[in-house]
Structure 1
Amino acid sequence: MILEGKVALVTGSTSGIGLAIAQALAGEGARVMINGFGDPAEIARISDDLGALYDGADLSDPAQIESMLRHCTDELGAPDILVNNAGVQHVSPVEDFPVGKWDAILAINLTAVFHTTRLAIPSMKAKQWGRIINTASAHSLVASPNKSAYVAAKHGVAGFTKSVALEAAKDGVTVNCISPGYVWTTLVENQIPDTMKARNLTREQVMNDVLLAAQPTKRFVTPEEVAALALFLCREEAKSITGANLSMDGGWTAA
């Protein structure tokens, strides 16, 4: 149990990558707070299975983020591990991109990372131990059409990660991001209809000619693979890895 006594807060963790990370951390003894939306009964089941505390904060609202951090600190202790995983997506040409969708994507995918980090890092520095792991994307390194807000946000996450890593380098706190390629999650599945419409393609064409076109392995990354890397970053053996953008994209960004 390498994380016995540690507290972990994982945003966007009621499904997909975030849930896999929460399961991996809890499996190594961490006390976990999960966050996200979904069916209340399913969230209650997940919480029971993990022995986790749940907070349904809307991460587009800074006040709710502050309340979530207080909730975690009051019930479990201040986070030793912060995983910023929550994300939303919308696919549309820039001239048609809804302003509300742009604002929501930047708020949840990027600005929320700032708020959780600024609130969690003081206690990590005080304890001289902390792990901040941000789920970025291959889109933190390369772009795709019709995803201007998402690409902008994920490039921002990568830059933010590097900056905070330098600030915390002498305080026992590492700050890294993981950049998966396409992972088979609800977020990916839900963007297929928009991509079909935007590019006038069939579902199969979107799957094979758009989503997996850039991944030489021609397979989706699994949430469990991302979780295993996140767990490694929490180990003492990873204490010299900081400010890194770790690609897990089947070779997408190797070219």
Structure 2
Amino acid sequence: MKMQNEVAIVTGAASGIGQAVAVQLASEGARVVLVDLNSCEKTIGMLGDAEYLECLGDIRDPEFVKAVINRTIEKYGEIHILVNNAGTASRLDLEDMTLEMWDRDMDTNLKAAFLFTQAVIYPHMKEAGYGRIINISSVSGLNGGVVSGGDEKNGRSGPAYAASKGGIIALTKWVAKEVGKYGITCNSVAPGATATAITAGVPYDTSQQVIDRMGEPNDIANAVMYFASKDASYTTSQVLKVDGGISIG
């Protein structure tokens, strides 16, 4: 078990990619902290005998983030891994984008990642001289939005989503430069079209991909597992595209 007794915080752990990540981490011996706005009951049922802590609340709220970190330290005494996964995705185009929707995506996808990253590093990972931070971005943050079928006007992930995921990539690189001296790595996984609640009901033409299928949450979790492991001790500031080859062009 590569992560025996390590402590991993996973946001958005109730379903989709976060759920798959939490289950895989637990299968490798990690004690998982399940963070979500919604109940993680289904995820908990998939953990077997693994140790876990469930923390429910709004990841955009600095006080909730502090509470998650405090509860984790009180129960386990340390934090080794952080996976910033929770997110929202509007599909409104620029003309129809509202400030409310812009703020929702930016706060959930980018602000929350900043809050958790800051809170786990200072002082916990820094004092321990070890840490693995993995941010789930998106190929939308690299190419300005993955085109899907359906509504011609709003047929791809919107500008707020693309901007927030681009911000995640920039944050990943900035943090990696800052904390490598403390034995902490920071990397990102950039999924393409993946079968989660965010893409439910949205048609994607995967025939344009090298691998002609939708991604599955476990495809993304597999990449996260490498970055979260000690095997990745010399790997930082990377953005790994797990997208079926759509980015090849």
Q: TM-score, normalised by structure 1?
A: 0.87
Distance (Å, rounded) in 2 between the aligned partners of 1:6 and 1:153 = 29
Kindly state the Cα deviation for residue 45 of structure 1 after the two structures are TM-superposed.
Answer: 3.5
Distance (Å, rounded) in 2 between the aligned partners of 1:35 and 1:133 = 15
RMSD over aligned Cα atoms: 1.8
Match of 1:179 among 190, 197, 203: 190
Distance (Å, rounded) in 1 between the aligned partners of 2:229 and 2:42 = 30
Residue of structure 2 equivalent to 1:207: 204
Kindly state the Cα deviation for residue 147 of structure 1 after the two structures are TM-superposed.
Answer: 0.7
- Read off the aligned partner of 2:158 and give its amino acid letter: K
Report how many aligned residue pairs link the two structures. 238
Residue of structure 2 equivalent to 1:101: 101
Distance (Å, rounded) in 2 between the aligned partners of 1:21 and 1:40 = 13
The 5-angstrom pairing of residues 57-136 of structure 1 reads: 57-122=57-122, 123-136=124-137
Distance (Å, rounded) in 2 between the aligned partners of 1:180 and 1:49 = 29
Residue of structure 2 equivalent to 1:138: 139
8 Å CA contact retained: 1:3, 1:25: yes
Query: Unaligned stretches of 5+ in structure 2?
Result: 146-155
Seen in structure 2, the aligned counterparts of structure 1 residues 170 and 46 have a Cα distance that, compared at 3 Å, is same
Q: Deviations over 1:143-182 (max 9, x none)?
A: 1355100000000000000000000112111000000111
The 5-angstrom pairing of residues 16-55 of structure 1 reads: 16-39=16-39, 41-42=41-42, 45=45, 50-55=50-55
- Read off the aligned partner of 1:6 and give its amino acid letter: E
Residue of structure 1 equivalent to 2:160: 149
Q: Comparing both structures, which one devotes a greater share of its residues to helix?
A: 1
Q: TM-score, normalised by structure 2?
A: 0.89
Seen in structure 2, the aligned counterparts of structure 1 residues 41 and 27 have a Cα distance that, compared at 3 Å, is closer
Distance (Å, rounded) in 2 between the aligned partners of 1:250 and 1:39 = 31
Match of 1:222 among 192, 213, 216: 216
More moved, 62-71 vs 84-93: 62-71
Residue of structure 1 equivalent to 2:149: none
More moved, 25-34 vs 74-83: 74-83
8 Å CA contact retained: 2:29, 2:50: no
8 Å CA contact retained: 1:60, 1:104: no
8 Å CA contact retained: 2:38, 2:56: no
